[in-house]
Structure 1
Amino acid sequence: MLVLLPPSEGKAEGSRGRPLDLGSLSLPGLNPARETVLEELVALCRADEEKARGVLGIGEGLRGEVAKNARLRTAPTRPAGEIYTGVLYDALELATLSTAAKRRAARSLLVFSALWGAVGVTDRIPSYRLSAGVKLPGTGALGAFWRGPAESVLPEAAGGGLVLDLRSSAYAGMWRPKGELARRTATVRVLQSRLVDGVEKRSVVSHFNKATKGRIVRALLESGAAPKTPAALAGTLRELGYTVEGGEGPDARALDVVVTEL
């Protein structure tokens, strides 16, 4: 099983780790594209802070992020699973997984990124600021830029198992599984169920969505389950205590997980 995750906008700072080594990252076929984006981002942030802020959509209070990007080649690195923070990663709690679950996480989790394309959670990267919605002056719109490199690398990484796609829309646009691979790719939507005047109301709430997805990934890693199809995934999640709708019929790949509280 391959699990595709979004990055977090907030990121932890690097520590005293060694600087970036592109050659050490997972999916080495993405390295030429990584170098292209990295080179332009660093040059932009070194040359003109105000222009960089405009391109990156960084407000006055975050101007330090430009300087951070300018130092990416020499900045200290940490495992990507420690760099990415936020609701999903707080709920996933990678650091507290069992030893076996940590090994599964290292093999099966990929975090999509506007800078790196996609990285494994044990890949060492520096803290950075760049979102998939950015359009760099030379490289162009990053969501579109990554589609070609991802298409040449990700199908092989997916292998013959299930792909669980938990990415947000901006990062889902960087690579969409096709053909037979698309048929064994599952997506999950989290719905909050509330009673309003005795009538059930369902809605998508960002905090519920992210936290529940983090818990789902954690539960799958700890269980050791390896469902091969979206229908099998639906059954596994039910066994793990989730209320799941979907997994059969024409929309078998789109699962709804219904929660009542965070």
Structure 2
Amino acid sequence: MVLLLLPPSETKATGGDGAPLDLERLATPELTAVRTELTKTLADLAIDVPASRAALGLSATQDDEIARNAALTTSPTMAGLERYTGVLYDALDVRSLTRAQRARADRRLAVGSALFGLVRGTDAIPAYRLSAGSALPGLPPLRQLWRPVLGPVLAAVDELVVDLRSGAYAALAPVPGAVTVDVQSERPDGTRTVVSHANKAHKGRVARLLATTTAEPGDVVRLRALLRRAGLHVEHDGRAALTLVLRAG
């Protein structure tokens, strides 16, 4: 089995048809205490719009994000894999999966979250705004809150972990030995640059492939072989890092 850790998105889909948030029904109950504290703090903070803007790094044009936080416990929910939007999630495109593929994706995918710690595919969550780098009044940095509880949860995962989270979210709870994937572009002269603009899209395609395959890569070597069979140019440094190489032009 494989567990893919995805970064969240700042943007979230609106609405939903699920019942309001019930923290007790989310997967990974070890995280409930921190989830409860953060949810209450964020909702209470939303009463003070200027303070929310300062803590969350928002402008006056983004006050609708603060309104979402104010309604955290009353607004409708939807499955986590459908709540997050943006380039990576467009490439992942879970809504186009077959029923069997979606079942595998729900088992294999989890989203790193500043608010919930870890969101599994079927976790019913509302729209919200909180980033890994946010500093909430009266609370320690988020990494200090999450690492003691989320770290042991991830360390106990008894399967191959592929960590596609961005640096700020990986810092909330690093996973020793997890496979990472870097995306680089190779020019005709052989020189390479790190892909930034399309990085999320390529990681979304990797996530879709690994979430839906019937194969079960148990280590980084088998994972590399699986990606190569899919036509990707992947290099392995001999440890736990893979490099996806794109041919420029």
TM range (shorter): over 0.9
Cα RMSD between the aligned structures? 1.5
Structure 1 distance, partners of 2:141, 2:21, is 24
Indicate the SS of the match to 1:135.
coil
Matches within 5 A, 1:75-114: 75-114=75-114
Structure 2 distance, partners of 1:108, 1:223, is 10
Identity of aligned residues (%): 44
The reply on whether 1:17 has 2:4 as its aligned counterpart is no
Partner of 1:231: 221
The reply on whether 1:173 has 2:168 as its aligned counterpart is no
Structure 2 distance, partners of 1:78, 1:222, is 21
Partner of 1:121: 121
In the alignment of these two chains, the number of paired residues is 248
Higher helix share: 1
TM-score, normalised via structure 2 length:
0.95
Partner of 1:45: 46
Q: Is the 8 A contact 1:231 1:247 kept in 2?
A: no
Q: Is the 8 A contact 1:143 1:170 kept in 2?
A: no
Partner of 2:130: 130
Match of 1:211 among 198, 201, 205: 201
TM-score, normalised via structure 1 length:
0.90
Partner of 1:246: 236
CA displacement, residues 54-80 of structure 1 (integer Å, 9 cap, x when unaligned): 011001210121111011010111111
Q: Is the 8 A contact 1:186 1:253 kept in 2?
A: yes
Read off the aligned partner of 2:66 and give its amino acid letter.
V
> Tell me, which stretches of 5 or more residues in structure 2 are unaligned?
none
Following TM superposition, the consecutive aligned residue runs of length 4 or more in structure 1 with deviations greater than 3 angstroms are none
Structure 2 distance, partners of 1:25, 1:260, is 42
CA displacement, residues 8-40 of structure 1 (integer Å, 9 cap, x when unaligned): 111111224311011111111101110011111
What is the deviation of 1:261?
6.2
CA displacement, residues 95-146 of structure 1 (integer Å, 9 cap, x when unaligned): 1112222111111111011000011121110000100001111222113321
Indicate the SS of the match to 2:111.
strand
Structure 1 distance, partners of 2:212, 2:104, is 9
Match of 2:185 among 174, 187, 192: 192
What is the deviation of 1:201?
3.2
CA displacement, residues 175-201 of structure 1 (integer Å, 9 cap, x when unaligned): 1123xxx2xx21000112233xxx233
Structure 1 distance, partners of 2:140, 2:173, is 16
